[in-house]
Structure 1
Amino acid sequence: MRAKKLYKITFLHLGKCYELYARHVETSPLWGFTEIGELVFEPAGSGLLVDPTEERLRDEFADTRALHLPMQSIVRIEEVERKGALVIRDAGDGQKVTPFPLPTRPG
């Protein structure tokens, strides 16, 4: 039997670019939003090294059953095979993904 699907969600929030993993993604009943549920974190204390980003995100979303993200804030949703490192970056500084097409300047 195939394991439950895993999604990597990249979104913008308060000048930061977040990358989270979740098992549930669908259109939200709230118009213009996408519902993200069943966030995936490593069990606390499961490894020798502590990832401060994962700890920060686990604390921030500790009581969250579902995120309802505005569609405009979502950069990318990918279906992936396995979970990678969680990431928080400055949205304007060196991110891997360009959030929106940037207009080209005549030059």
Structure 2
Amino acid sequence: MAAKPIYRVVVHQHGEVWELYVREIFQSELWGFIEVEEFVFGDPNRVVVDPTSEKLERTLEGVKRSYLPLNAIMRIDEVERGGPLKAVKSEARVAEFPRPFPLPSRDS
């Protein structure tokens, strides 16, 4: 049986660009979201310590499933193997996801 594929998901999150590795990814029943499951973390026996990778591992520790907004996802790739999680500061601005309905006015 072939091993499950691994996906690299690059997402914009609170002024940072996160590079995550997951085994499951699919369209959510929540409109405008992608679900990702089974996070793949780097090699626990690695000698080099990366503070950003460790920060993301602590942030995602115990997370079973994550819902990512479509407009925050920059790229999704199927890769041969996982890598270290990364978080890089970004000045990019993420556009709001378009809505099919008008927002109520603030005067109401």
TM-score range, shorter chain: 0.7 to 0.9
Q: What is the DSSP-based 3-state SS (H/G/I as helix, E as strand, rest coil) of the residue aligned with 1:53?
A: helix
Q: Percent of aligned positions with the same letter in both sequences? A: 37
Equivalent residue runs for 1:25-104 within 5 Å:
25-42=25-42, 44=44, 46-92=45-91
User: In structure 2, what is the equivalent of residue 96 of structure 1?
Assistant: none
In 2: Cα distance, 1:19 partner to 1:89 partner: 9
Q: Extract unaligned runs of 5+ from structure 1.
A: 94-98, 101-107
Shift of 1:43: 5.0
Whole-Å Cα distance in 1 between the matches of residues 42 and 3 of structure 2? 17
35-44 or 2-11, larger mean C-alpha shift: 35-44
TM-aligned CA deviation for residue 84 of structure 1: 2.4
How many residue pairs get aligned? The number is 94
Contact kept in structure 1, 2:10 and 2:19, CA below 8 Å: yes
Instruction: Give runs of ≥4 in structure 1 deviating > 4 Å.
Output: none
Pair 1:8-2:1 in alignment: no
Select between 20-29 and 79-88 the one with higher mean Cα deviation.
79-88
Matched AA of 1:20: L
Say what the alpha-carbon RMSD is for the aligned residues.
1.8
Deviation by residue 1:28-79 (Cα, 9 ceiling, x = unmatched): 12111000110011353x1222222221111011121111011000000000
Q: Which has the larger radius of gyration?
A: 2
For 1:62, give the aligned amino acid: E
Which structure 2 residue ranges, 5 or more long, are not aligned?
96-108
- Structure 1 residue 13, shift from structure 2 partner: 0.9
**C-alpha contact (below 8 Å) 2:56/2:86 kept by paired residues:** no
Q: Secondary structure at the match of 1:42?
A: coil
Counterpart AA for 1:77? I
